[in-house]
Amino acid sequence: MAAADRQRPPFVAMLRDSALAAVVAALLAVPLLGVRLVDNASGLTLDRRLPLVLYAAAAVFAGRLLLSLAGRYLAPSLRGMTASLPGMPRNSLVIFGWVLVAAALLLPWMPFAERNLIDKLTLILIYVMLGWGLNIVVGLAGLLDLGYVAFYAIGAYAYALLSMHFGLSFWICLPLAGLIAAMFGIALGFPVLRLRGDYLAIVTLGFGEIIRVVLLNWQAVTNGPNGITGIERPTLFGLSFSRAADGPTFAGFFGIEYAPAQRVYFLYYLILALAMLTTLFAQRIRRLPTGRAWEALREDEIACRSLGMNPVTVKLSAFAIGASFAGLAGSFFATRQGFISPESFSFIESATILAIVVLGGMGSQIGIVLAAVLLVGLPEWFRDLAEYRMLVFGGAMVLIMLWRPQGLLSRREPTVLLDPKPASAEATVP
C-alpha cells in the first residue's frame, strides 16, 4: 500500500481494502468455521455451515470499513482524548489512588454492596495483589517472569499443608508461606538469573510447569489432581467466622447475630490489607537503595556492572520479594477457597497476571488496578457469555495492547533522574 493513500484513503480505496479483508476472513473461516466435524457411529462426518463463512466475511467487511471511516473522521479527536491520559500529573494520580482506597474501605457499608459483589471484588483484589507483586519483578527489575503462578501455588500448598499437618493457624502460616515462596524464588533464581531476558522467560515458564506437574503427580503429599480439601479458615485474633466453633466465634464475641456474610466481608478486608501492604512496600522500596538498584539494572545492566553492582544479588532480591508476595496471595487464596488443586495454577494464570501488569502500564500501581478490573472483573460479570468468555478475554488482551501498547497508564520512567535542568538554568551557565 502506498504511503499516500494510507494517509488519506478515499472512499473507494477503503471499500477495496475492506473487500480484501473480507476475502481473507472468508479464507480463514472456510476450513474451521464453514465445516464442523461431527462424531458418528461410523466415524467422523462433516456438517456444512457455509452461511457462517458469509457472516464472518460480512462482519469483517463492515468492521474494517467502519474502522477506516472512524480512523479518518474521528481519529484526530480520539487521539486528543487518549493522549491526555498519561499527561495527568503525578499528584492527581496519587490522590486518585487514595480515593480508590477509601472507596474500597467504605464499599462494604454501602447499601448496594451485596455479598456477591464483595466476593467478586475479593477475587479482583487477589489479582491486583499478584499484579503488584509481579510488578516488582517485571516492572521495577525488568525481569520477564512467565511462571509467577508457581510461587502462588507454592504459597497456597504451603499454607494448606502446614495447617493440615501441624495445625498452625492462618496468621502463623501466612508469613511462613511467604518465606517458603521466597526460598523457592531464590533456589530457582540463583542459577538462572544471569540469563538474558527471553531465556529467563522460558525458564520461568518451565519452572511453572514443573511445579504444576509435581503437584499433580506427588500423590503422597499433594493428593494429586484431587487437591486438598477442608483447608482451615482464617480467624480474627482467634475469633472464628462460623456458627459454632470450639473457641469463641466472631458473632458471639461481639454479641451480634451470626451471618455467613461476615466471613466474606472479613476476607475482603483481609485481601485489601494484604494488597495495600504489597503496594506500600513497593512504593517505599523504590526509594531505598535496593529499589534504585533494580531500576538502574533494568535501564542499563552493563553500566551497573561497571559501577561495581552485583547483578545476580540485585535481581535475586527482586525475584525473592516478588515471589514472597505471590506466596502470601497464595495462602490467602487457599484459605478463601478452602480447597486447592493443581488446576487453579495453570499457565493461563501466569499469563493473566503478566497481562495485568503490562496492560496496566508497567510500574503504574493504579494502572494495574484498572487492568485487573478489566481482565478479571469484566469476565466475571459476563459469565452468561459462557464459552465465549475466554474468546472475549483473549480478544480484549489483543485489542487493549493495540490501542495502548505502552499500557493504560504508562509510568516506566525511573523514579530518580539526573536533575533535569530547566532552560533558564542552562542560560546562566557561563
Place of cell 466471613: 263
Choose between 138 and 376: whose C-beta lies nearer to another protein.
138
Q: State the nearest-atom distance from the C-beta of 25 to another protein, in Å.
A: 8
In whole angstroms, what separates CA 222 from the centre of its chain? Answer: 26
Q: State the nearest-atom distance from the C-beta of 395 to another protein, in Å.
A: 5
Q: State the nearest-atom distance from the C-beta of 385 to another protein, in Å.
A: 11
Q: State the nearest-atom distance from the C-beta of 22 to another protein, in Å.
A: 12
Q: State the nearest-atom distance from the C-beta of 319 to another protein, in Å.
A: 15
151 in Cβ contact with 181 (< 8 Å): yes
Let me know if 368 is exposed, middle or buried by CB neighbors in 10 A (0-12, 13-18, 19+).
buried
Choose between 38 and 95: whose C-beta lies nearer to another protein.
38
Using CA atoms, how far apart are residues 22 and 113, in angstroms rounded to an integer?
46
Place of cell 457469555: 385
Evaluate the CA torsion angle 139, 145, 147, 148 in order and state its sign: negative
Choose between 202 and 259: whose C-beta lies nearer to another protein.
202
Total Cβ atoms within 10 A of residue 120: 14
Q: State the nearest-atom distance from the C-beta of 137 to another protein, in Å.
A: 12
Choose between 231 and 297: whose C-beta lies nearer to another protein.
297
Choose between 272 and 368: whose C-beta lies nearer to another protein.
368
Choose between 108 and 367: whose C-beta lies nearer to another protein.
367
* Closest of 132, 418, 192 to residue 296, by C-alpha: 418
Alpha carbon separation from 68 to 3, 54, 64, 200 (Å, rounded): 15, 21, 6, 40
Q: State the nearest-atom distance from the C-beta of 400 to another protein, in Å.
A: 9
Q: Which residues contact 279 (CB under 8 A, 6 or more apart)?
A: 132, 365
Choose between 320 and 354: whose C-beta lies nearer to another protein.
354
Residues in contact with another protein by CB under 8 A are: 24, 27-28, 30-33, 35-37, 39, 43-46, 138, 144, 191-192, 194-199, 201-203, 205-207, 209-210, 213-214, 216-217, 300-303, 347-348, 351, 354-355, 358-359, 362, 387-388, 390-391, 393-398, 401-402, 405-406, 412
Q: Which residues contact 236 (CB under 8 A, 6 or more apart)?
A: 250, 266
DSSP H stretches of helix in 218-287:
219-222, 250-254, 261-285
Q: State the nearest-atom distance from the C-beta of 360 to another protein, in Å.
A: 11
Q: Which residues contact 199 (CB under 8 A, 6 or more apart)?
A: 192
Helix (H, G, I), strand (E, B) or coil at 290: helix
Choose between 131 and 234: whose C-beta lies nearer to another protein.
131
